């Protein structure tokens, strides 16, 4: 039944694929290549350095910092809702926890486009790998979660945080809150099935353990959200200053070019994950050998794959314009206009809006 619903979602995502592909291709091919002449007082891309710095300031103050603040608030609400569900695991508290999850994921999916600094991988400048701890998709392992439900190791905070990323974070929480039924996703020959461990739990105990595991995961997500926001907060962290003023002492970005490169790398998520992994594969457009591949959907349990795509595109738009709207921020659209590419800036915004509307 879930697979049938997932197939429909995969086909629905196909409607977004073409315009999302245009947006993805424009990230480097247009923004990077169109501003390509170098002269004194400009970046290596030919953009006046002061204009580029204005974009970095706007991205920091108008996009990244506010998004992380929003995620802290949403993660606290999620933490409270899952705690209530753990205390009284019933349909009402589950529905409230699911609603809080949807709200938190809507914010985080915008933040997926902002993997700069601590959210970035350990190999990126200033990266601490926090994104993978908060949300590791496409690295997911529901069987490992089922195994932890049996051994109850989720109750040990140190053990939980030491677990592989695919058994913690928002992706694990989705499975715990939305998976329907009393079965599990592990192979029959694994001990939890072969030795009767899962069958011995019973429906009531399974519900209680899912609620407890979910609350433990939400606690850790809230902790990570606060940690991430703190590293960017102007009064408690350094990354806001480092991205807005690259080249200063301590900054992982040697100059404006390096900072802009990291921002563009983060925005290229639209191509590497959104267009290819989230849309093209499950919709059967690329990499899929059947009509559709619903097993590749990002959100099979909560059925929010398309909503995640739309939130990604909203995050991309904010990064592109440097704020919640083009009027509020200084963004890459302004850089394109600065070098005489007004038509291209207009086209890119139109493509983004078309992708959201599809």
**DSSP per residue, 130-160:** HHHHH--TT---HHHHHHHHHHTGGG-HHHH
CB 275 within 8 A of CB 287: no
> What pLDDT, on the 0 to 100 scale, is given for residue 352?
86
Which pLDDT tens digit goes with each residue over 207-222?
Answer: 999 999 999 999 999 9
> What pLDDT, on the 0 to 100 scale, is given for residue 31?
53
Measured distance CA(114)–CA(126) in Å, rounded: 13
> What pLDDT, on the 0 to 100 scale, is given for residue 41?
56
Structure tokens at 278: 């989230």
CB 111 within 8 A of CB 225: no
> What pLDDT, on the 0 to 100 scale, is given for residue 236?
84
> What pLDDT, on the 0 to 100 scale, is given for residue 250?
86
Handedness of CA 71, 266, 346, 36 (dihedral sign): positive
Which pLDDT tens digit goes with each residue over 97-140?
Answer: 999 999 999 999 999 999 999 999 999 999 999 999 999 999 99
Global confidence as pTM = 0.90
Q: What average pLDDT does the chain have?
A: 88
> What pLDDT, on the 0 to 100 scale, is given for residue 21?
56
Which pLDDT tens digit goes with each residue over 20-60?
Answer: 555 555 554 455 555 555 555 555 555 678 888 999 999 99
> What pLDDT, on the 0 to 100 scale, is given for residue 203?
94
DSSP one-letter string for 86-113: HHS-SHHHHHHHHHHHHHHHHHHHHHGG
The full set of domain ranges for the chain reads 62-237
CB 138 within 8 A of CB 277: yes
In this prediction, the residues of the chain whose per-residue pLDDT falls under 70 are: 1-47
Q: Hey, what CATH topology would domain 62-237 get?
A: A middle domain of Talin 1 (1.20.1420)
């Amino acid at each position: 039944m879930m697979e049938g619903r997932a197939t429909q979602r995969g086909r629905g995502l196909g409607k977004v694929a073409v315009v999302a592909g245009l947006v993805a291709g424009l990230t480097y091919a247009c923004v990077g290549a169109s501003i390509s002449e170098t002269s004194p007082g400009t970046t290596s891309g030919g953009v006046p350095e002061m204009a580029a710095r204005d974009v970095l300031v706007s991205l920091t103050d108008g996009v990244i910092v506010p998004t992380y603040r929003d995620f802290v608030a949403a993660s606290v609400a999620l933490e409270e809702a899952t705690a209530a569900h753990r205390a009284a695991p019933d349909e009402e508290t589950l529905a409230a926890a699911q609603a809080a999850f949807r709200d938190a994921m809507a914010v985080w999916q915008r933040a997926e486009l902002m993997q700069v600094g601590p959210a970035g991988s350990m190999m990126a400048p200033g990266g601490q790998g926090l994104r993978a701890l908060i949300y590791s998709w496409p690295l997911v392992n529901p069987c490992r979660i089922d195994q932890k439900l049996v051994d109850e190791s989720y109750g040990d905070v140190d053990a939980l945080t030491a677990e592989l990323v695919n058994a913690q974070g928002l992706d694990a929480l989705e499975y715990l809150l939305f998976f329907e039924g009393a079965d599990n996703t592990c192979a029959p020959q694994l001990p939890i099935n072969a030795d009767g461990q899962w069958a011995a739990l019973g429906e009531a105990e399974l519900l209680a353990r899912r609620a407890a595991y979910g609350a433990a995961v939400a606690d850790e997500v809230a902790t990570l959200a606060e940690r991430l926001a703190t590293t960017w907060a102007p009064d408690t962290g350094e990354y806001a200053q480092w991205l807005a003023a690259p080249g200063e002492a301590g900054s992982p970005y040697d100059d404006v070019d390096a900072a802009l490169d990291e921002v563009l790398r983060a925005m290229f998520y639209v191509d590497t994950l959104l267009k290819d992994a989230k849309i093209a594969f499950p919709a059967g457009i690329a990499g899929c050998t059947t009509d559709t591949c619903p097993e590749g959907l990002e959100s099979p349990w909560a059925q929010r794959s398309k909503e995640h795509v739309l939130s990604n595109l909203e995050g991309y738009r904010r990064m592109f314009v440097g704020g919640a709207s083009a009027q509020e921020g200084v963004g890459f659209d302004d850089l394109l206009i600065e070098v005489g590419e007004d038509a291209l800036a207009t086209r890119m915004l139109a493509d983004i809006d078309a992708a959201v509307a599809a």
